[in-house]
C-alpha cells in the first residue's frame, strides 16, 4: 500500500524487459507507486479513470497501434493533466522537439546499458513538480475569471443612485436607489433644498472637508465632469461617484447630474481576488508564486552583498492520519494552528509559505552559520513534539525539515527548493520529526 508521499506513476510500455527494469528501478528508489500497461488505448483509459489519479504518465515512443506522441497529446488535452514524460531509443534532436511540442514535461533517451534508469526518478519528480505548478496556476486563473464574471453580472444588475440639482441648488430629480445608498428620508429630499441634503450626509462622510470642497468647486464650474471618484463613509462603505452637466438640446446647462453606486462589495471582492493570486486562502501565508518572487529578490540581495541564505522545506509527519480519522475540518484547523506556531518562532525578515496540502517552505535570509538554522529548527521540533488541542482532540503533529544554503546548494529558486524538498524526504524516511541539512 503506497504512502501519501508516493508519486503515482503509470508506465505505458509494450516491451516486457524494459518495463520490468523500469518498475524495479523505481520501487528500489522508493517513494513511487508504479502501474504498467502495454497498450496505449488501455493506458489512456487507465490514466483517465483511475482514482486517485496518476501524478505522472511515462510513455514509450514506439507503441503498438498508437505512437507515444499521440498518447501525450491526448493526455495534454485533459483538464489538469498529469505530468508526461517520453522515453525512447531514438536519441535524435527532432524526436526530442516533437515530444516537447506535444506537451511532454521531459524526454529521456534509452541507452544500451540502461543507464537512463538512474535518471528516471529525478526526471519524474521534476516533471510532477512543474506540472503541479502549471495546474495550480490554471486553477487560480479559472477562479479569477469566474469571480470577474460574477462581479460583472452583479454590477450590471445594480441600479445607480441618481440626483439632479439645478443651477439654483434646487433638487430637480432623484431616484429611490439614491435615497437607499445615502440612507436619506424621502421627506427631506422632497423639500428640494440641496444645502439641507448636504448637511444631512455630512456626519456620514469620512472626509467631509474634501467632499464639500469638490462639490463647491463643481457648482462653480458647471461644465466640468468627474468620473470614478470614490467617496468613503464612516461606516466603511464606499461609493463610486460620477458627475457632469445636464444640458438642453441647444447645449444650455441647466444643472448637474450626480450618479452614485455602492461599490463596497466590489472593492472587497477585488481585494479578495488580488489576495487569492498571492496568498493561501486558509492560512493567509504567501503561496508558491509569492514565495518564489520573495526568494528571487532575496537571492539578488544575497549575491550583491555576498551573503548566505537558507531555504527549509517542511512537511507535517502525521497530517494524513488526522484528515483520515478526524476529518478535513479538523485538518484545516490543525494547519492554521501549525502556521501560527511556526510564525511565532521566526524573525521579521523570515518568510514562511504554504505550497501544498501539508507542505511549507521557509526562507531564512542573511544566515551567517548553520547553527542559526539548527536553532530555529530546534524550536519547531520542540513545539511540535508536544500535542496541540483542537476541538477537544489532543493531536501530535511531528515535522520533517530539509535545509539547503545559497550559494553552496544552488543559485536559483527552483534548484534550492528542489534540493530542500529532496533532503526533507530523507529526513522523513529516517523517522520524521527531525532536520537534515544538505
pLDDT digits (tens, 9 = 90+) for 364-423: 999 878 898 999 999 999 999 899 899 999 998 889 999 999 999 999 999 999 999 999
> H or E element: which one contains 246?
strand 238-247
At 369 the pLDDT is 85
> H or E element: which one contains 93?
helix 93-102
At 277 the pLDDT is 79
Name the grid cell of 418.
528542489
At 234 the pLDDT is 94
Reported as a pLDDT band with limits 50, 70 and 90, residue 221 is very high
Examine the pLDDT at 158 and tell me if it is beyond 60: no
The span from the CA of 76 to the CA of 99, in Å, is 12
Examine the pLDDT at 24 and tell me if it is beyond 80: yes
The span from the CA of 246 to the CA of 259, in Å, is 12
At 154 the pLDDT is 42
Reported as a pLDDT band with limits 50, 70 and 90, residue 1 is very low
Examine the pLDDT at 178 and tell me if it is beyond 50: yes
Length of the chain: 438
Of the segments 153-157, 321-325, 432-436, which one has the largest average pLDDT value?
321-325
Among candidates 247, 353, 379, 350, which has minimal Cα distance to 290? 353
On average, the pLDDT of the chain sits at: 88
As a whole-number percent, the residues of the chain with pLDDT over 70 amount to 95
Examine the pLDDT at 155 and tell me if it is beyond 50: no
Beta strands in 39-96 (DSSP E): 56-60, 83-88
Reported as a pLDDT band with limits 50, 70 and 90, residue 111 is confident
Reported as a pLDDT band with limits 50, 70 and 90, residue 3 is very low
Q: 103 vs 241, which has greater pLDDT? A: 241
Taking residues 126-148, report their average pLDDT. 80
The span from the CA of 288 to the CA of 360, in Å, is 9
Among candidates 85, 26, 15, which has minimal Cα distance to 56? 85
Q: Tell me the C-alpha to C-alpha distance, in Å, between residue 217 and each of 214, 241, 242, 331, 384.
A: 5, 15, 15, 58, 63
* Least confident among 135-139, 216-220, 320-324, 365-369: 135-139
Reported as a pLDDT band with limits 50, 70 and 90, residue 296 is very high
Taking residues 42-69, report their average pLDDT. 90
Reported as a pLDDT band with limits 50, 70 and 90, residue 152 is very low
Task: Indicate the pairing of strand 106-109 with strand 83-88.
Answer: parallel
At 247 the pLDDT is 86
At 148 the pLDDT is 57
Examine the pLDDT at 74 and tell me if it is beyond 80: yes
Q: Which residues of 82-105 are buried (b: 16+ CB within 10 A; e: fewer)?
A: bbbbbbbeeeeeebbebbeebbbb
At 363 the pLDDT is 96
Examine the pLDDT at 159 and tell me if it is beyond 90: no
Amino acid at each position: 500500500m503506497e504512502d501519501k508521499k508516493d508519486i503515482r506513476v503509470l508506465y505505458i510500455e509494450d516491451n516486457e524487459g524494459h518495463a520490468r527494469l523500469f518498475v524495479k528501478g523505481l520501487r528500489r528508489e522508493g517513494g513511487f507507486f508504479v502501474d504498467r500497461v502495454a497498450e496505449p488505448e488501455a493506458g489512456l483509459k487507465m490514466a483517465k479513470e483511475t482514482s486517485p489519479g496518476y501524478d505522472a504518465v511515462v510513455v514509450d515512443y514506439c507503441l503498438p497501434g498508437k505512437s507515444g506522441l499521440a498518447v501525450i497529446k491526448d493526455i495534454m488535452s485533459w483538464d489538469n493533466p498529469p505530468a508526461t514524460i517520453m522515453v525512447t531509443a531514438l536519441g535524435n534532436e527532432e524526436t526530442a522537439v516533437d515530444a516537447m511540442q506535444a506537451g511532454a514535461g521531459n524526454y529521456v533517451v534509452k541507452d544500451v546499458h540502461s543507464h537512463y534508469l538512474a535518471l528516471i526518478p529525478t526526471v519524474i519528480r521534476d516533471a510532477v513538480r512543474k506540472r503541479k505548478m502549471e495546474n495550480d496556476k490554471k486553477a487560480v486563473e479559472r477562479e479569477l475569471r469566474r469571480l470577474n464574471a460574477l462581479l460583472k453580472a452583479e454590477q450590471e444588475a445594480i441600479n445607480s443612485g441618481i440626483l439632479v440639482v439645478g443651477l439654483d441648488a434646487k433638487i430637480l430629480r432623484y431616484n429611490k436607489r439614491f435615497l437607499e445608498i445615502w440612507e436619506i428620508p424621502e421627506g427631506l429630499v422632497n423639500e428640494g433644498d440641496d444645502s439641507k441634503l448636504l448637511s444631512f450626509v455630512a456626519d456620514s462622510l469620512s472626509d467631509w472637508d474634501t467632499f464639500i470642497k469638490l462639490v463647491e468647486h463643481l457648482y462653480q464650474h458647471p461644465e466640468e465632469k468627474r468620473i470614478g471618484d470614490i467617496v468613503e463613509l464612516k461606516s466603511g462603505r464606499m461609493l463610486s461617484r460620477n458627475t457632469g452637466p445636464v444640458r438642453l438640446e441647444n447645449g444650455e446647462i441647466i444643472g448637474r447630474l450626480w450618479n452614485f453606486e455602492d461599490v463596497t462589495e466590489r472593492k472587497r471582492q477585488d481585494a479578495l481576488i488580488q489576495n487569492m493570486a498571492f496568498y493561501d486562502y486558509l492560512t493567509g501565508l504567501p503561496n508558491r508564486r509569492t514565495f518564489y518572487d520573495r526568494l528571487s529578490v532575496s537571492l539578488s540581495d544575497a549575491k550583491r552583498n555576498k551573503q548566505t541564505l537558507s531555504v527549509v522545506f517542511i512537511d507535517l509527519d502525521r497530517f494524513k492520519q488526522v484528515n483520515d480519522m478526524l476529518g478535513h475540518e479538523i485538518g484545516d484547523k490543525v494547519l492554521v494552528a501549525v502556521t501560527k506556531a511556526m510564525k511565532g518562532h521566526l524573525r521579521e525578515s523570515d518568510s514562511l509559505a504554504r505550497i501544498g496540502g501539508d507542505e511549507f517552505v521557509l526562507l531564512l535570509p542573511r544566515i551567517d552559520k548553520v547553527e542559526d538554522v539548527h536553532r530555529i529548527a530546534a524550536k519547531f521540533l520542540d513545539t511540535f513534539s508536544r500535542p496541540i488541542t483542537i476541538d477537544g482532540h489532543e493531536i501530535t503533529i511531528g515535522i520533517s525539515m530539509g535545509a539547503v544554503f545559497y550559494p553552496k546548494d544552488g543559485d536559483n529558486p527552483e534548484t534550492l527548493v528542489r534540493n530542500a524538498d529532496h533532503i526533507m524526504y530523507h529526513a522523513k524516511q529516517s523517522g520524521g520529526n527531525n532536520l537534515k541539512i544538505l
